[in-house]
């Protein structure tokens, strides 16, 4: 796991570094930690490599938001955690899908739960699933699955970037149990949908972010909406 810390204030840079190192040691996690006191140097580094980035909100001539925007262009799913003296980053950070923010004066108390959440999120983002296709085992990221369609004893995986569904001998009920923690919801007898890819639910129509429209069964409509709302509001 690669973590970057970018703060123009040396005291906080070291403090965050210590907290991350300590937490990683306690959890027995192997990490590669890079410190940046100059945001320009951070932006010149290999941004694609970072899984978690701790960013100061104000770093002189470059704001934390501008840094985050550049980071997003290189790596869309990096977890950005703002460490700022200003609460306003709760709103500003939202623009760049910041994962969390920590106020500098609450760093000691707030670091641990935020870091734990980040690790959990990272685990979800990097979770992979292995399926057998035409006697070959292939694996792909769970987060890339849009939805899974059941066709008798076959499961068709509709994955981001793949025009054709990936067909495998898997039971939808088994997959439902396996993927429940990753935000999958059964919308009818033969569809299991990744809630991370739901753009909106309009009545019984479940619209995915790639434009696909699936129809939810009448019996499950209420339950699907509840599960989707709880997932979104987490």
Partner 1 sequence: MEYIISAMMLSVETFSFWLMAEALLTKKNQRLQNAIAFMVSLIFGFSIVNFITHVNVSIVKTMVTIFTWYMVVLFAFTDSWIKKLFVVLSSIVMIYCIDYISACIVMAAFSITSVEIYASVPYFILGAFISKTALFTLSALLFAMKNEKHKMNKVSNAECFRLILIPVFTVLNLVIVVDCAIRYSVSPVLVMVDACGLLLCNIFLVYISNRLEQERFIKKDNEMLLQQARENEEKATAMLDIYTGQRKLVHDFKNHILSMQMLIKMGEYEKAEAYMTGLCEEIQIAGMAISTDNPIADVLLNQKFAAAKAKKVTMHISSGKLDSFPLENGELVTVLGNLLDNALEAAEKLAGKGQIYVNIHTQESETMLSVKNSVKYDVHIINNQIFSTKANPLLHGYGLQNVIGVLQKHGWTYVMQCENGWFQFTAMAPQ
Q: Which residues bind partner 1 (CB under 8 A)?
A: 85-88, 90-91, 93-95, 100-101, 103, 106, 109-110, 113-114, 199-200, 202, 225-226, 229-230, 232-234
Pairing of strands 100-103, 58-59: unpaired
Whole-number Å distance between alpha carbons of 205 and 226 = 14
Closest contact distance (angstroms) between CB of 63 and partner 1 is 14
Closest contact distance (angstroms) between CB of 167 and partner 1 is 31
- Closer of 112 and 162 to partner 1 (Cβ): 112
Closest contact distance (angstroms) between CB of 184 and partner 1 is 18
Question: What residues have CB less than 8 Å from 22, skipping those under 6 apart?
Answer: none
Whole-number Å distance between alpha carbons of 201 and 180 = 19
Q: What's CA 215's distance to the chain center, in Å?
A: 26
Closest contact distance (angstroms) between CB of 106 and partner 1 is 7
- Closer of 60 and 113 to partner 1 (Cβ): 113
Please provide residue 82's backbone torsions phi and psi, each rounded to the nearest 5 degrees. Answer: -80, 135
The dihedral built from the CA positions of residue 205, 207, 208 and 210, taken in this order, carries a sign that is: positive
The dihedral built from the CA positions of residue 72, 143, 140 and 162, taken in this order, carries a sign that is: negative
- Closer of 117 and 149 to partner 1 (Cβ): 117
- Closer of 42 and 228 to partner 1 (Cβ): 228
Closest contact distance (angstroms) between CB of 12 and partner 1 is 14
């Amino acid at each position: 796991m690669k973590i970057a810390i970018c703060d123009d204030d040396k005291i906080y840079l070291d403090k965050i570094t210590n907290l991350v190192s300590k937490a990683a040691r306690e959890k027995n996690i192997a990490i590669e930690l890079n410190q940046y006191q100059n945001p320009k140097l951070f932006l010149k580094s290999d941004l694609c490599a970072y899984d978690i980035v701790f960013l100061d909100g104000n770093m002189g001539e470059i704001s934390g938001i501008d840094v985050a925007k550049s980071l997003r262009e290189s790596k869309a799913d990096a977890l950005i955690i703002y460490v700022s003296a200003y609460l306003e980053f709760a709103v500003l950070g939202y623009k760049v899908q910041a994962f969390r923010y920590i106020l500098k004066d609450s760093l000691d108390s707030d670091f641990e739960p935020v870091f734990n959440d980040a690790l959990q999120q990272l685990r979800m983002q990097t979770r992979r699933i292995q399926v057998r296709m035409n006697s070959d085992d292939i694996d792909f990221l769970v987060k890339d699955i849009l939805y899974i369609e059941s066709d008798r004893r076959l499961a068709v995986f509709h994955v981001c970037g793949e025009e054709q569904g990936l067909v495998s001998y898997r039971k939808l009920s088994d997959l439902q149990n396996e993927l429940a923690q990753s935000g999958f919801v059964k919308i009818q007898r033969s569809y299991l949908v990744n809630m991370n890819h739901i753009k909106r639910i309009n009545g019984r129509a479940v619209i995915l972010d790639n434009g696909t429209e699936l129809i939810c069964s009448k019996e499950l409509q209420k339950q699907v909406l509840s599960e989707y709302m709880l997932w979104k509001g987490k």
